[in-house]
Chains A and B, each alone.
Chain A
Amino acid sequence: MEITPAHTAAFAALSHDRNPIHWDAEYARRTPFGGVVAHGMTAVLLALGEWAGGRPFRLEEIRASFVKPLYHGVAYELAWTERPGGRVRLEWRRGRAVQGWCAFRWTETAGTEAGPKLSSTGFEPRVQAAETALADALEHWRGGSFPYAMAAGMLAESLPVLGWRPGQIPVRQLEALLAASYFVGMEFPGRQALFYGCELEFAPETDPGPTAGFAFAGLDPQWDDRMNRLALSGVGTGLTSFELTALLRPAPVHYSPAEIRAAAGVSAKFQDRVVLVTGADRGLGAVLAEALAAQGATVVRHGRSAAAGVAAVSGELTDVGECRRMAREIRARWGRLDALVLNAFPVAPGWSFGEANSGEWLAYLHAGLACVAVPLGEFLPLMPPGGIVLGVAARGGVGLGAVPPPLVAAKGALESFLQGVAGDHPEQRFVVLRAPRMLTDQTNAAFDFSPPVSAVPVACRILAALNWPGESDAGNWSVVVGED
């Protein structure tokens, strides 16, 4: 089972669920997912459609859990088990790891070949996901109802894309599934929602009729502020009960310049020094750039988009031609580099060994190492003897709250790579910082068993490790641990 952008587009068109996590690459990049993810309910529909194989049926009840984010272009293995009484469990897996599942009870029906005709209910979907303050939203929805209508005009076009034919399932049941996705993603908790699971129990009576509008009613939102978790239950059209669970993701991480300067202090340690920081748009790179500037450095910020008026270069680090162009630009504008901080690194995938195949692991290792090796190859000639090259590696560890295994592997490769280069370049000093798991857009989850640490003290550690010749006894290769 592979989810394609066409599936996502068809689902969005039919459900009106246009949460930016599903289409806005720039927005999605600043989430722990690192990029756009598919709607969980798209996986449910695709899996149900594949299981049904064109059979018409109605659901008695359905439960679904969206365990892991689903990405376009990944081949998920779909497996199912059937038990007596029309009980089925569908699972989509990557390697041996379950990424999501739905369990349901069904009965066969005659279906309606042509599909139902629906009249307009006057429902006007949101164009953008709600960003209502949680307290206001809780008050607004408690005891209330939520009328909804799918884009009935899109049924004939969208359903076949998702592997269904119109009339294969009672239309209100389909609408309930779509409403769940729309409500969580667009209304409540809205833009920062992470839809986690749903439970729908359908009324024994079949279709309430084509003209009746769909609604969730008797809404009872339960908010758990310990885990930023919302459980929303009630009844609905054709539903004896429902429960939706969602997490509220925090806003993107922002470290304030005042906070950074207060921690790093202000000095002239880097006066007249030109320092390039890769990946200085956000996270540790942005903190470090600010901290270095406070020590008098001329900081050249490398990022995806160079802001006007700031000393910055922009380009793809894994591309030799782009790095060469940036090197020419640096030479022309600043003449040289005194220090190079190799901070940028690809977002760590959420999979483990066995979940992704060896080819995917090797591709990630390659991408990670390229982010360091390619710029180093082009920027090292800009550095007069006595410069500093700093690489950001990672502390190891396993399991919950630890650095993800692919990142540990790639950062280990980075560390060894720089040690190798240090042997070849005794005229420069090479420092590797083994950073702890820091709070960045990648680790900024709704709930974390062991929360990541602030990037500010880690940046201070890096500052302390950047010593010019004569300031430290360390040789040209050293490893620093970024936390006590």
Chain B
Amino acid sequence: MPKTTEEILPEFSKVVGKVLEQDALQLKYETTAREVKDWDSLRHIEIVLAVEKHFKIKFNFAELQKFKNIGQMCDNIAAKLAKAG
């Protein structure tokens, strides 16, 4: 069954938390990368790759440039998972 953004958020938080080594990381829909400690450009690469691996999806370059917050990334993941069935 396709997942909703709300279902994806905690999973997403877990993946990001693993990369950033912050076990208790809880991201909200409105959270932006700027607000998360240690989320810099290099870590962003690791995060994107880890998220892609976890959800078995792939973002394109334009998508990566457009995400304004965590929620938009999760919306995109939800849409991709729904499409993949």
Q: Which residues of A contact B (CB under 8 A)?
A: 67, 97, 196, 224-227, 229, 247, 398-402, 445, 447-451
- Do the beta carbons of B34 and A398 come within 8 Å of each other? yes
B42, A196: Cβ atoms under 8 Å? yes
Contact B35 A449 (CB under 8 A): no
Instruction: For the complex, give the distance between the alpha carbons of A40 and B40 in Å.
Output: 19
Please tell me if the beta carbons of A226 and B60 are within 8 angstroms of each other in the complex: yes
A-B contact count (CB 8 A): 44
In the complex, per-residue mask of B28-46: 1 if CB is within 8 Å of any chain A CB, else 0:
0000111100111111110
Closest-by-CB residue of B relative to A231 is: B49
* Of B33, B49, B61, the contact of A449 (CB 8 Å cutoff): B33
Minimum-distance CB pairs A-B, first 6:
A399-B34, A226-B61, A400-B33, A449-B44, A400-B34, A227-B45
The residue in chain A whose Cβ has the minimal distance to the Cβ of B48 is A227
Interface of A is mostly: loop
Query: Measured between C-beta atoms, what is the minimum distance from A192 to chain B in Å?
Result: 16
Q: A399-B34, A399-B35, A400-B34 are in contact. Are A449 and B41 (CB under 8 A)?
A: yes
Chain A residues with Cβ under 8 A from B39's Cβ?
Answer: 399-400
Q: Measured between alpha carbons, how far is A82 from B60 in the docked complex, in Å?
A: 40
Is residue B64 contacting chain A, with contact meaning CB distance below 8 A?
yes
Q: Please judge, given known A-B contacts A226-B60, A226-B61, A226-B64, whether A447 and B45 are in contact too, CB under 8 Å.
A: yes
Known A226-B60, A226-B61, A227-B48: A447·B34 in contact at CB below 8 Å: no
Q: What count of chain B residues pass the 8 Å CB interface test?
A: 19
Tell me the bound Cα distance from A399 to B44 in angstroms.
Answer: 12
Residues on the B chain within 8 Å of A401, using CB: 34, 41
Looking at chain B's contact residues, is the secondary structure mostly helix, strand, loop, or mixed?
helix
Please name 11 further chain A to chain B contacts, defined as beta carbons within 8 Å, in addition to the given A400-B44, A449-B44, sorted by A numbering.
A67-B42, A196-B42, A227-B45, A227-B64, A247-B45, A399-B34, A400-B33, A400-B40, A447-B41, A448-B41, A451-B65
A243 CB to nearest B CB, Å: 12
B63 to nearest A CB, angstroms? 9
B32 — which chain A residues lie within 8 A by C-beta?
399-400
Nearest chain B CB to A395 CB, angstrom units? 14
Closest to B34 in A: A399
Q: How far is the CA of A449 from the CA of B59 in the complex (A)?
A: 13
Listed by A's residue number, 14 A-B pairs whose Cβ atoms lie within 8 Å are A97-B38, A224-B49, A226-B60, A227-B45, A227-B64, A229-B49, A247-B42, A399-B33, A400-B33, A401-B34, A447-B44, A447-B45, A449-B33, A449-B44
**Docked CA distance A258–B34 (Å):** 36
Q: Collect the chain A residues with CB atoms within 8 Å of residue B41's CB.
A: 400-401, 445, 447-449
Nearest Cβ in chain A — how far from B69, in angstroms? Answer: 12
- In the assembled complex, the Cα of A443 lies from the Cα of B58 at a distance in Å of 26
Q: How far is the CB of B81 from chain A (nearest CB, A)?
A: 20
A435 to chain B, nearest CB (A): 19
Rounded to whole Å, the gap between the CB of A33 and the closest CB of chain B is 13
CA distance A67 to B44 in the complex (A): 12
> A residues within 8 A CB of B35?
399
Instruction: Quote the shortest CB–CB distance from B43 to chain A (angstroms).
Output: 8
- In the complex the two chains form, what is the Cα distance from A227 to B40 in whole Å? 14
